[in-house]
Structure 1
Amino acid sequence: MENYNSRAREIRRRKRRRRVIRNRIIFGCVLILLVVGIVFLVKWLSGGSSDTGNTSTPAASEANASGGSTEGNTDNGSEVGTTAEAAGSWQAVLAEADIHCKQYNYDKAIELIKGVSGYEGIPELADAISRYEAEKAKAVPYDKMSEITHVFYHTLVIDGSVTFHLSDKNKVRDYNQVMTTIDEFNKITQEMYDRGFVLVDIHDIAHLEKQADGTEKMVWGTIYLPEGKTPFVLSQDDVSYYEYMEGDGFANRLVIDENGGITNEIDQPDGSVVTGSYDMVPLIEDFIREHPDFSYRGARGIIALTGYNGILGYRTAPKYGDPSDSSYKPEYAKYNVEEERQKATAVAARMKELGWQFASHSWGHKDYGALSFDKFKTDAQKWEDQVEPLLGGNVDTIIFPFGADLGEGSWRGYDHSDSIRQKYQHLDGLGFDYYCPVDGAQYWTQMKDGYFRQGRRNLDGIRMWWAVSGYKDTLSDLFDSNKVFDKTRPTPVENL
């Protein structure tokens, strides 16, 4: 009897195990069917995606990497949105639309979402439109367009312990006065962001508009920002990485990285190359990637270029490939000028796609106000012939070297004297509409029918030293110089 009971219990245990296994199989099958059904439903709602696991596209990845539209400040959102939709990824469209919204381009964000087929039936997209419309309602026209400040830098010092301790004391004094260190730049950028400053394109402030009689007239633009936000323009001079700066603690050139972004290269004494964010352009790209709302509709800064040493760190001037040139040096034999020009052109094109603007800084870094008209014309033509083609043409901004202008009293307007008018008319004929001298005031603008002028403020060693030494503080509206000033600087900072 006992053996019989034991066998019966064993049989019951086996039956229970079979039921458990059968139930698990049934449950697994049901779960698989449920997952398949959900996947099919998502595919149907998103327009028939062939890869529901793919939530990004090259266009969206590029937008995220640059912190904005893949065409910078150009209005290409529809094309990008269409590409993402064709790939079946409304999530990528949503990601890009969110960036547009953060950058105050609410209409573009809404347009992107509405470009997705069946967006009304996707809760995330319907919610996004409501969010964008709510943010748009908070934006108001900025009411002080003539009071927008314009700040600028020179090439950034990577390591003050190198640059400010060179054996050439004249170089040290010059660098100490007009340069800004990376540490200072990053602190200034962060503090300006914390205070609500937003980077805008100078063309957002004023632009030429066709009149009823067919002529063009410069008119004020309209910038829509939430209360508490303040627009500003950014520029950088001499982004040529001059020969005389080599080995002094600066980057050597701008390049396109493996992700399509812009970064720097530094040549090492042993022949190796270090890559990273060592100057304004990649540092601003990094910052906008983290803080898209620092850029108004994808705006970046203005890069002012000379031509006598080439541009962007590439030796593009004719002298580098012409042994008969009076400025030629034997060491120039290492350069292939055509290759240098091709590289510079590619970098400039990518920068423009990201939203960067370019400006003439004269060809030879000349004071246009002090030059005779003939020498002025010669220099301006060299820039037109040797530099502008590398930038894709149509450069409409001139940033004057030495903070000068077109002559004594030119602040009154370019009709102030015959010599000033003559130079202005020549530049106007070359296509320049925006003119930027240096002015230490918080803001200075001048609007005429044919041009717009904006003074620029130098955020450099001498200005910060004035503030920290108690002489005068002209930068307090932007940042606290005492928190920013780099302690590796020699003091006092001399005004040369």
Structure 2
Amino acid sequence: MTCLKRLLPALIVLALLAGISGCGIKLQYQGEPGGAASPSAGAGVSTPPSADASASPEDDGGASPSPSVPPSPENLVPYNGVVEHLFFHPVVAYPELAFDGDSQQKGIDEYMVTVSEYDKMLQSMYDKNYVIVDWNDVWSEQTDVAGNGRMVKNTLMIPAGKKPLILSYDDVCYYDYMRQNGFTYKLVIKDGALWSYGLDPKGSAVYSQDLDAITILDKFVKQHPDFSLNGAKGCLCLTGYQGILGYRTMTDVNNKTPQAEAARQKEIEAVKPIIAMLRATGWYFGSHSWGHINLSTVSLAAVQRDTERWFDEVGSLIGPTKLMIYPFGARPDGGDVTKTGPIFKYLQSKGFRVFASVGIDAFSKIKPDIDAVINDRMHADGDTLRGQRDRYLKFYDAKLVFDTARPNYGVSWDK
């Protein structure tokens, strides 16, 4: 059944790309502070480039090595241990723009990894016999004899000798500040595959599969299919205040002109085939709230407004998800590990069943009093590269992956 679930989206991807029926978007809760500026007409809308639109780094004419072979069903064994979970933010494509001494440098250094580091991390995790699994396959919801739902941990069937790994990616929206600081701008479709689009440090347009976390993993799994169980990739954790996936699909409460709405609708239509392609190739989605709000400090009313807007502007495009990823890793209600307060209950009532924070290991616990499970994810970023080498050695060695293009802020392991 799991294999069929993976295959069906791929079989219908052409139909999805041909056109996805629009979902009704209710323009409620438009009074929140921090509404993003409306894009100008046509801004950010991608036309898939022609094959010769630009040279890409991977087109070197060299022969590709022979790909690895995916596991056959008879080689799968049951796994009941810890499922590791590692998350990333968008990766730095151009360190010279990210680490140029401006006000964004320190935050980027703390929360992101560079393309060079990401490449080495993936190779290390593959070499250490990890296999990517779909977060949705780790947990399922069952109904007891009384008719009550209850989350249960599934027994994964994985290749002998492998260790399961969930990957997730926060803030895959390509915010405005990222466009000025060395990141790619958006995802596009070229030659039937996902590519990134952006500008290099000289301001020239670049289409590539080597500069973005999503396209890099796509290429790596294509070359090493045994790095993925049934084609699974990762969870893309989306806010909505500056749109999704590089497309400015959000409403602007400060600009309600017909021109602004026409531009937004153009962005919505442009992102639909990107969503379809992602789903068909093993990617899936989770909520990161609409406004990247801190669930440990805001009121229930604020969470309700934010969540309704997320469903209106993001959920309406990506489809249902049971995955809720806390912004800032902040648990609601003073900590959902020991308490189930009104915010948690509200989010659970909206269909979320798996709730994720950030921690020092891949912690998980089924809530005893409500149909939900809580998780912690480990964070691959500059902070842990500089100061937590030992904790992450099971994935990669910071000494071996650390990018010397980073600022000279020091590391704990340089002794």
Provide TM-score, normalisation by structure 1. Answer: 0.66
Secondary structure, aligned partner of 1:410: coil
Q: Does 1:139 align with 2:76?
A: yes
Give how far 1:360 is off. Answer: 0.7
Aligned equivalent of 2:346, options 420, 426, 429 = 426
SS state at 1:208 partner:
strand
Q: Matched residue of 2:158: which SS? A: strand
SS across alignment from 1:254:
strand
- Equivalent positions of 1:73-152 (< 5 A) are 73-76=5-8, 102-104=69-71, 106=73, 136=74, 138-144=75-81, 147-152=82-87
Separation (CA, whole Å) in 2 of partners of 1:209 and 1:334: 42
Rounded to whole Å, the distance in 2 between the matches of 1:434 and 1:105 is 30
Identify if the C-alpha distance between structure 1 residues 476 and 494 changes in structure 2 by more than 3 Å, giving closer, same or farther: closer
- Residue 159 of structure 1 deviates from its aligned partner by 2.0
| 8 Å Cα contact 2:198-2:205 kept in structure 1 | yes
Report the equivalent of 2:184: 251
SS of 1:286's partner is helix
The equivalent of 1:444 in structure 2 is 363
Preserved CA contact (<8 Å) 1:179 1:460: yes
The Cα of 1:460 is off from its aligned counterpart by 0.4
Q: Aligned to 2:140, what secondary structure does the other structure show? A: strand
Runs of 4+ in 1 over 3 A off after TM superposition: 75-80, 101-105, 210-215, 267-272, 332-335
Give, in angstroms, the shift of residue 335 of structure 1: 7.7
Write the distance in 2 (CA, Å) between the matches of 1:310 and 1:78: 25
Match of 2:324 in 1: 398
Kindly indicate which of the two structures has a greater share of residues assigned to strand. Answer: 2
Q: Distance in 1 between matches of 2:382 and 2:262?
A: 34
Alpha carbons 1:104, 1:297 under 8 Å: kept? no
1:363-382 matches, within 5 Å, as 363-382=290-309
Once the two structures are TM-superposed, the CA of residue 493 in structure 1 deviates from its matched residue by: 5.7
Map 1:128-207; keep pairs closer than 5 Å: 136=74, 138-144=75-81, 147-166=82-101, 168=102, 170-207=103-140
For 2:360 and 2:181, locate their aligned partners in 1 and report how far apart those are by CA, in whole Å.
28
Q: Deviations over 1:446-486 (max 9, x none)?
A: 1136112221111100101114xxxx622011111100000
Does the CA-based 8 Å contact 1:461-1:493 persist in structure 2?
Answer: no
Q: Deviations over 1:91-138 (max 9, x none)?
A: xxxxxxxx9x944462xxxxxxxxxxxxxxxxxxxxxxxxxxxxx1x4
The amino acid that maps onto 1:429 is S
> Is the contact between residue 462 and residue 493 of structure 1 (CA under 8 Å) also seen in structure 2?
no
- Give the letter aligned to residue 483 of structure 1: L
Match of 2:382 among 461, 472, 483: 461
Residues 403, 437 of structure 1: 8 Å contact kept: yes
Q: CA–CA distance in 1 between the matches of 2:304 and 2:244? A: 20
How far apart, in 2, do the equivalents of 1:78 and 1:348 lie? 13
Cα shift readout 1:158-197 (whole Å, capped 9, x = no counterpart): 121221114x2x3100001001000000100000000100
Q: CA deviation at 1:394?
A: 0.9
Contact 2:288 2:325 survives alignment (8 Å): yes
Uncovered stretches (5+) of structure 1, i.e. residues with no partner:
1-67, 81-98, 107-135, 326-331
TM-superposed CA distance for 1:232, in Å, is 0.8
CA 1:102–1:318: 2 relative to 1, 3 Å: same
CA distance in 1, matches of 2:214, 2:345: 32
C-alpha change, 1:102 and 1:458, in structure 2 (3 Å) is same
- Residues 306 and 364, structure 1, Cα contact 8 Å, conserved in 2: yes
Answer yes or no: is the 8 Å Cα contact 1:173–1:493 preserved in 2.
no
> Is 1:476 aligned to residue 393 of structure 2?
yes
For residues 271 and 462 of structure 1, the distance between their equivalents in structure 2, rounded to whole angstroms, comes to: 30
Amino acid at match of 1:275: Y
Per-residue deviation, 1:220: 1.6
| Matched letter for residue 473 of structure 1 | D
Aligned identity (percent) is: 31
- Pair 216,479 (structure 1): closer, same or farther in 2 beyond 3 Å: same
Are positions 1:264 and 2:196 aligned together? yes
Q: Could you say which residue in structure 2 is the equivalent of 1:289? A: 222
Deviation at 1:255, TM superposition (A): 1.2
1-structure distance, mates of 2:143, 2:335: 30
What is the TM-score normalised by the length of structure 2?
Answer: 0.79
Q: Distance in 2 between matches of 1:389 and 1:102?
A: 37
Q: Per-residue CA shift, 1:318-377, capped at 9, x if unaligned?
A: 118x6249xxxxxx9698111101111221121111121101111111101110111111
Paired letter, 2:323: T
Which structure has more relative contact order (CA 8 Å, sep 6+)? It is 2
Instruction: Report the structure, 1 or 2, having the larger helix content.
Output: 1
* Larger Cα-atom Rg: 1
Distance in 2 separating the partners of 1:217 and 1:405: 21
- What is the deviation of 1:411? 2.1
Change (3 A) 1:473 1:79: closer
CA distance in 2, matches of 1:234, 1:183: 18
Deviation at 1:271, TM superposition (A): 7.3
Code of the aligned partner of 2:307: A
What is the rounded CA distance, in whole Å, between the counterparts of 1:198 and 1:386 in structure 2? 33
Whether the aligned pair in 1 keeps the contact of 2:10 and 2:281 (CA below 8 Å) is no
CA–CA distance in 2 between the matches of 1:457 and 1:366? 20
Give me the whole-angstrom Cα distance separating, in 2, the residues matched to 1:183 and 1:265: 18
2:205 matched to 1:273? yes
SS in 2 for 1:474: helix
Tell whether the 8 Å contact from 2:387 to 2:411 is kept in structure 1 after alignment: no
**1:405-447 Cα deviation digits (max 9, x unpaired):** 11323222xxx1xxx4211221112111111100122x20111
CA contact (8 A) 1:446 1:454 kept: yes
Displacement of 1:148: 1.3
Tell me the residue number matched to 2:247: 314
Q: Counterpart of 2:392 in 1: which secondary structure?
A: coil
SS in 1 for 2:321: coil
Distance 1:434 1:103 in 2: 28
Three-state SS of the structure 1 residue aligned to 2:344 is helix
User: Is the contact made by 1:361 and 1:400 (CA closer than 8 Å) also made in structure 2?
Assistant: yes
Question: For the aligned residues, what is the CA RMSD?
Answer: 2.8
Q: In structure 2, list runs of 5 or more residues that go unmatched.
A: 13-66
Aligned residues: 354
- The offset of 1:248, in angstroms, is 1.2
- In structure 2, how many angstroms separate the alpha carbons of the residues matched to 1:270 and 1:188? 28
- Partner amino acid for 2:78? P
